[in-house]
Amino acid sequence: MKVGLRISYFMVLWLGTTTLWATHESEQEVRHNKVVMRMIGHEILKHLGDDTSRVLAIEYVNNRYRIPLEQPISFKPADIIGIVDSVLTASGAEPKCIVETEECETNEIVHSFELGGNGILPCGGREMPRDCYHFWITFLDQPPPMSNFVAKGSMLAAMDLNTSYSKFWWIFPLVLILSFLGFMFFRQKKVINEDTVIIGSYTFDTNAMTLTRGKEKTDLSHKETALLALLHASSNEPVERQVILREIWGDDGDYVGRTLDVFISKLRKKLEADPNLRIINIRGVGYRLVLSEH
């Protein structure tokens, strides 16, 4: 049961880490592509001799990028394909995509072409009448970002493919918190043996966090249990102070001053009924649990 819990928490940690990493990577990719799309829009305006109108905000919808222009334009599709190809190549992106021209008012696709591979360019020499147009660019053979990824059983399955990941910003802090809790649980428990062990005349139950001697049972705190388990794992051998602090407290904020010495004193008191058990201080090194022969 305990092993299963540890594996579960480890899986939460792994899932959280990989999900956040993949999401971060996909977010960076979308941001980069938006910059490239804006470059394409500016190059189109520059080619048409327009130095005043703007490229409006780039949108990313359903794995497609929309390049909206502020003013009506007239253009030849063959010119657009050359601009898209040159900008994508210069940016290091794979120039394999579908470019669609959308009429603003009707939202109808009035022209489209495929770039890369066996690219298809219908009516390349015909000039499009002056009108308000938006350009849609869809990359081919490129997996969608994690924000749009839906897998059976995935934590992201609740995400709608038609929406941006930004609507689900709360998922990623939640994953981060769960990952941290899983890590802390796994780290704090890792120094505790799962079996009941005999230490001198005591029965040390690491799961119940108790010391039993005859009919007397003494409860231990979590830190005391972890500390005794660590010392017992290296019985009669010194355990460095820094090793103890790292394994028991790690980066916890509850370690202040001589906290370790206080816990050592508590353990000594709880083990004092057995004269064959001693926790000795090795100056400048750390502590050693001494198990004497009866």
Choose which CATH entry (3.40.50.12160, 1.10.10.10, 3.30.428.10, 1.10.3720.10) describes domain 197-291: 1.10.10.10
Paired strand residues for 198: 203
**What does the pLDDT look like over 23-79, one tens digit per residue?**
555 778 888 889 999 999 999 999 999 988 899 999 998 889 999 998 999 998 888
Cα distance between residue 211 and residue 232, in whole Å: 13
Q: Which of 221, 208, 228, 248 is nearest to 289 (CA)?
A: 228
**What does the pLDDT look like over 99-141, one tens digit per residue?**
999 999 899 999 888 887 665 555 556 788 999 999 999 988 6
**What does the pLDDT look like over 233-273, one tens digit per residue?**
988 999 999 899 888 887 654 555 678 889 999 999 999 99
Cα distance between residue 121 and residue 77, in whole Å: 8
For residue 276, is pLDDT > 80? yes
**What does the pLDDT look like over 195-225, one tens digit per residue?**
688 999 999 998 889 999 999 999 999 999 9
Helix axis angle, 171-189 to 2-47, nearest 10°: 150
pTM, rounded to two decimals:
0.43
pLDDT value at residue 258? 79
- Domain ranges, ordered by start, for the chain: 2-168, 197-291
Apex 107 CA angle, 106 and 110, nearest 5: 90
Q: Which of 161, 160, 157, 190 is nearest to 15 (CA)?
A: 157
